[in-house]
Amino acid sequence: MNVLKTTRPHLWGILIIICLVSYGQIGFAIIIETATNGNWNNTSTWVGGTIPSNGDSILINHNISLDVNFHLSNSGWFKISSGASINGNKDIDLKDSGEMRNDGTLAIRTFKIKDDVTATLNGMIIIADNFDIQDNAVVNGNATISVVKDLTIMDNAQVTFDGFLKIGQNLVIQSGAQLVLNNMVKVAGEFDNSSNEMFINGDLYTYDFTNKAGGVIKGYGTINATGTFTNNGTIKGTNVGGNQWILPIEMVSFRVWQNDRYQVYLEWITASERDNERFIVERSFDGIEFHSIGWLRGAGTSSTQTEYTFIDHEPEPGQRSFYRLKQVDTNGKTTFSKMVTIKVKESPLAKEVFEVYPNPVISKQLYLEVAHTTTADQELPYMIFDLSGKTVMTGMLTQGGNGKFVSHLDLKGRLDPGIYSITVETSRQLHSKKIVIK
């Protein structure tokens, strides 16, 4: 491409014709290009000493400090090259059918894209205040975007984010706007949707989730809310073939609590289920990385209320834990519940010691031992559960002297290889361990 570089002419009648092939259009503009690193509002920063103004097309090839609020309109284009940057506690406002492309880094106070502007955001964006996209703007974000306050999308804007999106306060999508989220999104405040054309194809993590009346959310991603979960609109998913399917579970409630024996219970109630094969219970200590701790069989297809209870046999005392349900239907599709969380309390009593060895179990011989207990019982009951919560083996530990209770288990022909939980109950405490049988 041949581009004529020029400063702003001081003589009238000079017409500069620039063919904007790289932007897919023919137009008339003046290209203002950086000459060196420096402040935006300093003439020495720009080739020919000309500071950009409305209608200009701007090419940033250096590291520029934004020391003045900048508004670009009248169809100019604005490009930040790879390796270049704009930084500063000021605002940028793009409007009136212009074009923007960021291949570098943009770190500013507020950012507005509106009035039919088309923006391609391939480089990192850091906004210290609010980010507004509105009035028929078209935005494609392919890199990490971080907004300290609110991201608001409204007035028929069309937005697609393929990169990681982090919002410090609220993400608001108003009616008429279109938003597609194809990657992980973290919202510290509220996700607030009233758009009838919204897709979540990645993982959305938010504190509060609100899908207002008339709001339609589609996609094959996940929604995780640690605060309130309100859905007065429609949530749908898409399979590989593109056919829409309604979520197979109508959830009435999902809660977690701890009893006076320091056991953690998860309880949930469904109003109806469709082709529901099972619930996988997942736990996390940071609300992001989850691991399965067991499962319960679903009700299949049911229009009556169904109640479920699951016990976390190995909670982490003193640790905040996050739980969610991964629902699996009969043809393998999965959906996720909202998250519930609890700070697991530690027992104020002196700790009894429960030992299980060897673990993993290789020779089918397993030994159980409880020490430092003050129970007056002569025997202590134990139970072994599989990952579905089904009791597969029970028995008793007997006193072995020195305040210890012991038991030797021969597992040959009794338990298949796999992962199990074993519990022993004293008058003071319920002990749990996970065992692996090979």
Say yes or no to pLDDT of 250 above 70: yes
Q: Token pair of 66, please? A: 């934004």
Instruction: Report whether 146 contacts 128 (CB < 8 A).
Output: no
Q: How many CA atoms lie within 13 A of 253 on its CB side?
A: 8
Amino acid at 223: I
Domain containing 287: what range? 250-343
Instruction: Report whether 367 contacts 354 (CB < 8 A).
Output: no
Residue with more model confidence, 31 or 234: 31
Averaged pLDDT, 334-359: 76
Instruction: Report whether 418 contacts 369 (CB < 8 A).
Output: no
Say yes or no to pLDDT of 238 above 60: no
Q: What string of H, E and C letters represents the secondary structure of 61-76?
A: CCEEECCCCEEECCCC
pLDDT tens readout for residues 173-217 = 998 999 999 888 999 999 999 987 788 888 888 888 888 988 888
Residues 256 and 339 in one domain: yes
> Residue 278: what pLDDT?
92
Rounded distance, CA 376 to CA 319, Å?
Answer: 31
Q: Does any domain span residue 331? A: yes
Which stretches does DSSP call E strand in 69-129? 70-72, 77-80, 85-87, 91-94, 99-102, 105-108, 110-113, 118-121, 124-127
Averaged pLDDT, 65-76: 86
Say yes or no to pLDDT of 430 above 60: yes
What are the CB-based long-range contacts (under 8 Å, 24+) for 240-245?
244/218, 245/333
Q: Residues of the chain with pLDDT > 90: what percent?
A: 38
Residue at which a domain ends, from 322, 343, 364: 343
Assign 93 to helix, strand or coil: strand
Q: Token pair of 272, please? A: 């109806």
Of 152-166, 264-278, 338-352, which gets the smallest average pLDDT? 338-352
Q: Does any domain span residue 260? A: yes
Q: Does any domain span residue 7? A: no
Instruction: Name the pTM for this structure.
Output: 0.53
What is the 8-class DSSP label of residue 118? E
Assign 21 to helix, strand or coil: helix
The answer to whether the bond into 360 is cis (omega within 30° of 0) is yes
Q: Token pair of 248, please? A: 């197979």
Q: Residues of the chain with pLDDT > 70: what percent?
A: 86
Say yes or no to pLDDT of 329 above 80: yes
Rounded distance, CA 264 to CA 278, Å?
Answer: 20
DSSP output for 393-436: EEEEEEEEETTEEEEEEE-TTTS-SEEEEEEEE-SS-EEEEEEE
Q: Does any domain span residue 267? A: yes
> Residue 141: what pLDDT?
93
Confidence of residue 370 (pLDDT cuts 50, 70, 90): confident
> Residue 372: what pLDDT?
59
How many angstroms separate the Cα of 438 from the Cα of each of 359, 383, 409, 424, 435? 10, 19, 15, 22, 10
Among the listed residues 195, 190, 235, the one whose alpha carbon sits nearest the alpha carbon of residue 208: 190
Q: Which residues contact 4 (CB under 8 A, 6 or more apart)?
A: 16, 17, 18, 31
Say yes or no to pLDDT of 83 above 50: yes
Q: Are strands 334-336 and 320-329 parallel, antiparallel or unpaired?
A: antiparallel
Residues 363 and 335 in one domain: no
> Residue 7: what pLDDT?
41
> Residue 36: what pLDDT?
96
> Residue 202: what pLDDT?
81
Residues 381 and 429 in one domain: yes
pLDDT tens readout for residues 1-56 = 333 343 444 433 333 333 333 333 334 458 999 999 999 999 999 999 999 988 88
> Residue 23: what pLDDT?
38
CATH code assigned at 312: 2.60.40.10
Q: Which residues contact 12 (CB under 8 A, 6 or more apart)?
A: none
Instruction: Report whether 112 contacts 36 (CB < 8 A).
Output: no
Amino acid at 438: K
Q: Does any domain span residue 280? A: yes
Rounded distance, CA 112 to CA 100, Å?
Answer: 12
How many domains are contained in the chain? 2
Residue at which a domain ends, from 343, 374, 391: 343
> Residue 289: what pLDDT?
80
Tokens 């979960």 correspond to what residue? 229
Rounded distance, CA 332 to CA 399, Å?
Answer: 48
Q: Token pair of 88, please? A: 């500063």
Mean pLDDT, the chain, rounded, equals 83
Q: What share of the chain is helix, strand, coil (3-state, %, to 5)?
A: 0, 55, 45
Q: Token pair of 166, please? A: 């982090």
Say yes or no to pLDDT of 100 above 90: yes
Residue at which a domain ends, from 318, 343, 368: 343
Q: Token pair of 163, please? A: 């990169």
Residue with more model confidence, 341 or 84: 84
Q: Does any domain span residue 129? A: no
Q: Does any domain span residue 383? A: yes
Amino acid at 172: V
Assign 158 to helix, strand or coil: strand
Residues 338 and 257 in one domain: yes
Q: Does any domain span residue 202? A: no
Rounded distance, CA 378 to CA 359, Å?
Answer: 26
What does residue 317 show for φ and ψ, rounded to 5 degrees? -60, 135
pLDDT tens readout for residues 413-426 = 888 888 888 988 77
Residues 285 and 330 in one domain: yes
Say yes or no to pLDDT of 104 above 90: yes
